[in-house]
Structure 1
Amino acid sequence: MANLFLKFRKFYSIANLSSGSKMPRSDWNLVSNSRFNFPENTIESIKIGNLILQLDKLITLQQRKLKQLERLKTAMLQQLLANQRFPKVRFNDFKDSWKDYRLGEVFDEFSVKSKRENEYKLLSSTTSGMESRSGRVSGHSNIGYKVIDNGDIVLSPQNLWLGNINLNNMGKGIVSPSYHTFKIVNANPIFVNFQLKTEKMLFEYKMVSVQGASVVRRNLDMDAFKKIVIKIPNEKEQIKIASLFSSISNIINNHQNKLTQLSTLKKYLLQKMFI
């Protein structure tokens, strides 16, 4: 019970108050003279402690499951999308050779600009995926931003090598004009999306990007980017692989949501029990 109390927000807020010196530090006199509520009944204290302990165990187990699934997905991506003409691991029904395509044959770049303020929802491409973005970049108007739809590819030319390339799955929206936007042709968009973030492709992006003003920012050579070769199977095999990884991704998202719910529940209970 005491351990739970020490993690509670009210204890932190009081313990972190400055004692008046130039260097903020905990004032134990202030903490020791403050009043906190504890259950008078020992049994109640034990039950509260056991409840939070069980939640902690569930959270830890959920974290382990999530990591295992993420490792499984990474391993399967490396095996099924090994960028070989005849992958060692594949579905039994398929034997044909995968064909070479340059990205310029798969990506058709386009640029449709917004014509009025806040014409569509504002989106952002990150290394973690597409995200909603509130407000405006640097306070400027978003007229002239690029309009994208579901299934379009968005990439950042400055940090593409870190994995900032995404298939938009958030509906029609607008993104910064600094991004490059593409339609997928000659391939299944979902299949291509999973292939775009393999270790092999990240290495290729780095090779066609030149370091800029900072270590993180690298300027993309678009002509060289379009010459990167990827291997693509026939349409049926693309669909099969895309379906598999979509299912795995959905399972991972469900486990992530469950972990978030458990963490939120623990925080809520701590706040309510130690008001």
Structure 2
Amino acid sequence: LKKALMQNMFANKSLYPKLRFKGFTDKWKQEKLNSIASLLNGRAYKRNELLNSGKYPVLRVGNFYTNDKWYFSNLELKTNKYAIKGDLLYTWSATFGPHIWTGKKVIYHYHIWKIILKNNVDKFFVYEFLKEDRDQLLRNTNGSTMIHITKSNMENKYISLPNKKGQKKIGNFFKKFDNLIIAQNKKYNELKFIKKFLLQNMFI
């Protein structure tokens, strides 16, 4: 349902989406990503600089998918080398795609970009656009070839934008949708666990 909504609520080449909220009729505009955002690389660490304990956790690509292997650093860096709760990040090595960071203050690794948006751009709208863009890339390759994401290609990617009010409306809509999907997945996993428990105990 979400995929169908995204395909119809984001503007196509005509810059007019098929499905719109009431009161929104303006033509969208098309911009290159580097005109609305800056992509900042994290810090490149040498192996001997990664500590088993320290002041700052070092966020690497794998930490988005598992919490069992964290490294740390005591280095004091420029402000733009840290990620805090709510930052829009993009992993571009091994696995790729956007993330909204929900944890505590961390130093993010070189294989992650922090995306700094201009004031007239909504974070959640861009997040959803980047997720759909990632899914589109995956659909086009069918897993048969390695996908290479470069900073230059990302910066020159075109994004279609409604006005700020429209961005916020769409961004918040899909944010709620994502929360609903998370809740449904949690319920699904709980039911699978209960079924497994019952099967193990109801058969001789």
Structure 2: gaps of 5 or more residues:
none
Bigger-Rg structure (1/2): 1
Residue 124 of structure 2 corresponds to: 190
- Code of the residue aligned with 1:264 in structure 2: it is F
Greater Cα shift, 95-104 or 168-177:
168-177
User: 3-state DSSP class of the match of 2:93?
Assistant: coil
User: TM-score, normalised on structure 1?
Assistant: 0.56
Alignment of 1:95-134 (within 5 A): 95-110=25-40, 117-121=53-57, 123-125=59-61, 130-134=64-68
Give 1:64's aligned residue: none
Name the structure 1 match of 2:92.
Answer: 157
2:169 corresponds to which of 217, 240, 243: 240
> Contact 1:111 / 1:147 at 8 angstroms: preserved in 2?
no
- 1:229 CA drift (Å): 1.2
- Tell me how far 1:118 sits from its aligned partner: 4.1
Compute the displacement of 1:242 (Å): 1.3
Question: Can you give the 5+ residue segments of structure 1 that lack an aligned partner in the other structure?
Answer: 1-71, 207-213
Amino acid at match of 1:184: L
Q: In the TM superposition, what are the counterparts of 1:45-194 in structure 2 within 5 Å?
A: 72-84=1-13, 85-110=15-40, 117-121=53-57, 123-125=59-61, 130-136=64-70, 142-143=72-73, 147-159=82-94, 163-185=96-118, 186-194=120-128
More strand by share: 2
* 1:140-192 deviations in Å (ceiling 9; x for gaps): x54369531233232233357xx523232344334432222222223111111
CA distance in 2, matches of 1:83, 1:183: 25
Q: Which runs of 4+ in 1 moved over 6 A?
A: none
Q: Is 1:259 the equivalent of 2:193?
A: no
Relative contact order higher in (CA < 8 Å, ≥ 6 apart): 2
How many angstroms apart in 1 are the aligned matches of 2:93 and 2:181? 29
**Alpha-carbon shift at residue 258 of structure 1 (Å):** 0.8
Alignment length (residue pairs): 188
Q: Which amino acid in 1 is paired with 2:130?
A: L
Q: Is the 8 A contact 2:2 2:177 kept in 1?
A: yes
Distance 1:108 1:88 in 2: 30
Superposition TM-score, scaled by structure 2 size = 0.73
